[in-house]
Amino acid sequence: MLEQAIQAAAALPDGDPLAAASALRAAGFPPDLAAAALTQVALRRKAVTKFGADAAVMHFTRAGLEQATRAPVAARRAARLAAAGATRVADLGCGIGADTIAFARAGLRVHAVDASPETASTASANVHALGLAAGVLVEARDATEVPLDEVDAVFCDPARRTSGGRRVFDPRAYSPPWDFVVGLAARVPMTVLKLAPGIDHALLPPGAEGEWVSVDGDVVEAAAWCGPLAAAPRRATLFQGSQVFSLTGSGTTAAPVGQVGNFVYDPDGAVVRSHLVAEFAATVDGTIADPTIAYVYTASAVPTPFGRCYEVLDQLPVALKRLRAALRALDVGSLTILKRGSALDVEELRRSLRLSGTRPAVIALTRVAGAPAVLLLRPVAQ
Ligand X SMILES: C[S@@+](CC[C@H](N)C(=O)[O-])C[C@H]1O[C@@H](n2cnc3c(N)ncnc32)[C@H](O)[C@@H]1O
Task: Using the minimum distance from each CB to ligand X, give the nearer residue, 10 or 115.
Answer: 115
Binding of ligand X by 157 (CB under 6 A): yes
Q: Under the criterion CB under 6 A, does residue 222 sit at the interface with ligand X?
A: no
Q: Does 119 bind ligand X (CB under 6 A)?
A: yes
State which residue, 33 or 154, has the beta carbon closest to ligand X.
154
Q: State the SS3 of the chain.
A: CHHHHHHHHHCCCCCCHHHHHHHHHHCCCCHHHHHHHHHHHHHHHHHHHHHHHHHHHCCCCHHHHHHCCCHHHHHHHHHHHHHCCCCEEEEECCCCCHHHHHHHHCCCEEEEEECCHHHHHHHHHHHHHCCCHHHEEEEECCHHHCCCCCCCEEEECCECECCCCCECCCHHHCECCHHHHHHHHHHCCCEEEEECCCCCHHHCCCCCEEEEEEECCEEEEEEEECHHHCCCCEEEEEEECCEEEEEEECCCCCCCECCCCCEEEEECHHHHHCCCHHHHHHHCCCEECCCCCCCEEECCCCCCCCEEEEEEEEEECCCHHHHHHHHHHCCEEEEEEEECCCCCCHHHHHHHHCCCCCEEEEEEEEEECCEEEEEEEEECCC
Tell me: does residue 116 bind ligand X (CB under 6 A): yes
Considering only residues 132, 159, 204, 213, which one is a binding residue for ligand X as defined by CB under 6 A?
Answer: 159
Kindly state the number of chain residues that form the binding site for ligand X, as judged by CB under 6 A.
23
The verdict on 9 binding ligand X (CB under 6 A) reads no
Indicate which single residue of 6, 37, 58, 98 sits in contact with ligand X (rule: CB under 6 A). Answer: 98
Q: How far is the CB of 72 from ligand X (least distance, A)?
A: 12
User: 221 or 266, CB closer to ligand X?
Assistant: 221
Per rule CB under 6 A, is residue 209 in the interface with ligand X? no
Q: Candidates 15-23, 67-75, 238-246, 303-311: pick the segment binding ligand X (CB under 6 A).
A: 67-75
CB of 65 to ligand X, least distance (A): 8
Is 126 a binding residue for ligand X by CB under 6 A? The answer is: no
What is the number of residues in the chain? 382
- Identify the bridge partners of residue 155 per DSSP, sorted by sequence position: 91, 192
Stretch that binds ligand X, among 64-72, 321-329, 338-346, 356-364 (CB under 6 A): 64-72
Q: Output 142 or 311, the one with its CB closest to ligand X.
A: 142
Site for ligand X in 160-179 (CB under 6 A): 175-176
The residue range among 1-9, 28-36, 140-148, 352-360 that interacts with ligand X, by the rule CB under 6 A, is 140-148
> Which residue from 76, 78, 86, 95 is in contact with ligand X, where contact means CB under 6 A?
95
Binding to ligand X by residue 142, rule CB under 6 A? yes
- Window contacting ligand X (CB under 6 A); options: 152-160, 256-264, 274-282, 363-371: 152-160
Q: In the complex with ligand X, which residue's Cβ is closer, 5 or 90?
A: 90
Q: What is d(CA 66, CA 47) in angstroms, rounded to the nearest whole number?
A: 9
State the nearest-atom distance from the C-beta of 362 to ligand X, in Å: 36
Radius of gyration of the chain (CA): 24
The footprint of ligand X (CB under 6 A) covers 67-69, 93-99, 113-116, 119, 142-144, 157-159, 175-176
